[in-house]
Structure 1
Amino acid sequence: QRLQEALQDYYTLVDRVPALVHNLAGMDYSAVVSEEDLVTKLNAGLQAVSEDPRLLVRAVGPRDTSSGPEAGAEEPPVTGPEVPQDEAARRALVDSVFQVS
């Protein structure tokens, strides 16, 4: 959802955005087993549809390095930030999570 919004809001080749969003919605994510797999699949699909090798999705932010369910079992679950009501703050949040090049 956030990647679709980032494409709609920030991708400069606006005529290609509907095809990119359609491609994202139709992708089969069942074979994705890691963050790297997801990034590779998204980049390959988006670049093929857009014909733009500069369009890159990168994973940003902290990565979960726990070794299993027992790791950190005593810590409370971490919740993501609330989505701000202000449009500018929402865009800043998207920019902090995704980098669309």
Structure 2
Amino acid sequence: MNNSIAALLISVSAFAASPALAASISFKPLIDTRLRYENVDQDGIVEKADALTIRARAGFELGLSKDFSFLVEGEGTLALNEDYNSGVNGRTRAYPLKAYTH
């Protein structure tokens, strides 16, 4: 384990173990999900592209006092179908590629 991560965990543990602060510790689970659908119909390509994905973000927040908290969070996206060209899924001839403009 990296020394700085170990030091941080030891500091947080020592801070949380203090009897004076035990009453102010709070634990808050976090979860956020998003279902997304997108369609692309491009001239010259027979198939229409339909993408259905779900993104999930989960974690927790540990409040050690009113001025200090510790947050851990992770995120992942799952394709619920493969009827589109993502640019990396090998479906370049069958489906159009969405052109993003900013």
TM-score (ref. length: structure 2): 0.24
Larger strand share, 1 or 2: 2
Q: Which of these two proteins has the greater Rg computed from alpha carbons?
A: 2
TM-score (ref. length: structure 1): 0.24
Q: Which protein, 1 or 2, shows the higher relative CO under an 8 Å CA cutoff with sep ≥ 6?
A: 1
